[in-house]
Amino acid sequence: MSVINISQAAVLGVVEGVTEFLPVSSTGHLKIAEGLMNIPVDDNAVVGFSAVIQVGAIAAVFVYFFRDIARFVGAWVRGLRNREERYHHDYKFTWWVIYATIPIGIVGIAAKPLIDGPLGSLWVVAASLIVGSGVMWAADQMGRHKRGEDDTSFKDAMWVGCSQILALLFPGFSRSGATMSTALILDLDRTAATRLSFFLGLPALTGAGLLELKDALGTGVGAGPLAVGTIVSFGIAYASIAWLLRFVARHSFNAFITYRIIIGVLLLGLLGTGVLDS
């Protein structure tokens, strides 16, 4: 019998789609939702399911930013063939995304037992939500928001790429929250920070989903729940991306910061009273 049924998969698909790219921690929200539905959060199949439905969300990025991605890939291919094309920002940016993904890949493989084990505790999620909120607030205050996407550099990409490790090790910190905060500290404007977060997440999230696919299919989650969760996550994530880009162009991250603190405190309360098992 599958550890996740079709209706639970649909709910988790919605949670993943809404939260993957908002700076509120999709991993944290998935673990909370799984706990409330009495799904074992530390089961290998559940961990695998969560990673696979992320592929639905990341597919939404490929579709939404198809023209940008095609431009980057085209510039990269031309640069491989023509030395003069290698001075083009898009060619260099594509290499930066590749280089910036290497650190999280190494840490993800090396620390997988910790990530799937003690660091996956809901206590860690709650603490990371609250601590990450402080980091986001400080970054929004420190950043001068004066640099656009065309002003990004190799150093920017590496710093932002490495910041994904925080969310990998501390679920609840939020990958998008960590990357956007780092980009703001580097003085990128909010729209540039958000777009950079999307592009740097493409290889990392896709790789994680593909690596976990064998666990999801082989240890308790059927193809039906996987398909439903992934499809729902794709549709919701596409709408979430469009909304987020409009929102950050006009607003600060204060609404997300407040929400994260509320959820973190609420989660601590549920854990402390035994309503949820860590």
Give yes or no for a contact between 46 and 9, defined as CB atoms under 8 angstroms apart. Answer: no
pLDDT of 254 reads 92
pLDDT of 128 reads 93
Q: Is the pLDDT of residue 219 over 60?
A: no
More confident residue, 45 or 250: 250
Residues 144-166, buried b or exposed e (16+ Cβ, 10 A)?
eeebebeebeeebbbbbbbbbbb
Domain ranges of the chain: 6-272
Write out pLDDT tens, residues 227-244: 899 999 999 999 999 999
pLDDT of 129 reads 93
Q: Is the pLDDT of residue 276 over 90?
A: no
Q: Is the pLDDT of residue 10 over 80?
A: yes
Name the band, by pLDDT with cuts 50, 70 and 90, for residue 216.
low
